[in-house]
Amino acid sequence: MSRPTLLAILSFPAAVIGYAVTAAVLTSVLPSNEGLGGVLLIFLPLFVAALCMVPFLIPYLDRMAKRDLEAHRAATAADRTRPQPETPED
């Protein structure tokens, strides 16, 4: 298993920890779950969880992008070496 794949797998526990810590802090700070406090309690922990996942996912996404770029370059090079059919002129 490569390092980027391992980091991608570890991104989920990092997100869970970030979500749990943020939710615990918000529930202890916010007085009630009505109005803006309820919306913050839903969306802010999800946002923090996503931010916790990003550093772990970047190497995996970078590896996939490099693989796709190399495949595109190979396909482009194959198209350039293939002879083009002649078009009939009037």
For residue 4, the model assigns a pLDDT of 87
C-alpha distances in Å from residue 3, one per residue of 26, 60, 65, 83: 34, 9, 16, 42
Domain spans, the chain? 3-80
- Residue type (1 letter), 6: L
For residue 89, the model assigns a pLDDT of 66
Helix (H) or strand (E) holding 80, with range, is helix 36-81
pTM, two decimals, is 0.73
pLDDT tens sequence across 7-52: 999 999 999 999 999 999 998 888 766 777 788 888 999 999 999 9
- Encoding tokens for residue 66? 């490099």
Neighbours of 10 (CB within 10 A): 13
1-5, 31-35, 64-68, range with the lowest pLDDT: 31-35
